């Protein structure tokens, strides 16, 4: 990958992830200043959209990626795979010396399985979620 912006200036590879974070941090105020007022005018609700709708739309802004937890989890997963599959004289899935002998397809199948499990759990919790109206919760407190 070409990382040079100008002759003699290369962007460090480790800092490329920060551009994603920077883009998210810069677009959140745009969302708050433009999208929310338009949604408020369209729906007539003070918040613009409900909390459930907002949580669905913010899945794009995954907080794990914003704070770098996703990178740590990825490194942890690779370390666990390396130790688990590379014992007893066997080469690990990553086979550091020869990429042609590596079993990276196993890693991608594992990631696809984890993604599918995440989708199933999201669908389960989204379906079982019951939106609590704030006025009804205030009435419950007054009745006690």
Confidence of residue 120 (pLDDT cuts 50, 70, 90): very high
Confidence of residue 92 (pLDDT cuts 50, 70, 90): confident
Percent of the chain, pLDDT > 70?
A: 72
Rank 18-22, 43-47, 103-107, 117-121 by mean pLDDT and report only the highest.
117-121
43: containing domain = 1-67
Number of domains in the chain: 2
Determine, yes or no, domain membership for 49: yes
Please give the model's pTM, rounded to 2 decimal places. Answer: 0.47
Determine, yes or no, domain membership for 95: yes
Whether 60 and 116 share a structural domain: no
Tokens standing for 7?
């002759």
Whether 56 and 100 share a structural domain: no
Q: What is the DSSP letter of 79?
A: H
DSSP per-residue codes, 94-144: T-TT-GGG--HHHHHHHHHHHHHHHHHHHHHHHHH--PPPHHHHHHHHHH-
Whether 108 and 57 share a structural domain: no
- Report which of residues 68 and 47 the model is more confident about: 47
Whether 99 and 46 share a structural domain: no
């Amino acid at each position: 990958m070409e990382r040079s912006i100008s002759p003699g200036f290369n962007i460090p590879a480790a800092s490329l992830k920060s551009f994603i974070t920077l883009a998210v941090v810069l677009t959140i105020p745009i969302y708050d200043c433009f999208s929310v007022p338009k949604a408020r005018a369209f729906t007539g609700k003070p918040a613009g959209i409900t909390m459930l709708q907002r949580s669905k739309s913010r899945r794009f802004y995954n907080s794990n990626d914003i704070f770098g937890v996703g990178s740590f989890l990825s490194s942890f997963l690779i370390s666990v795979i390396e130790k688990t599959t590379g014992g007893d004289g066997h080469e690990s899935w990553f086979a550091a010396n020869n990429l042609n002998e590596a079993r990276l397809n196993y890693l991608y199948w594992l990631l696809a399985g984890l993604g599918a499990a995440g989708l199933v759990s999201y669908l389960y919790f989204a379906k079982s979620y019951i939106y609590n109206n704030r006025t009804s919760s205030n009435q419950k407190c007054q009745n006690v």
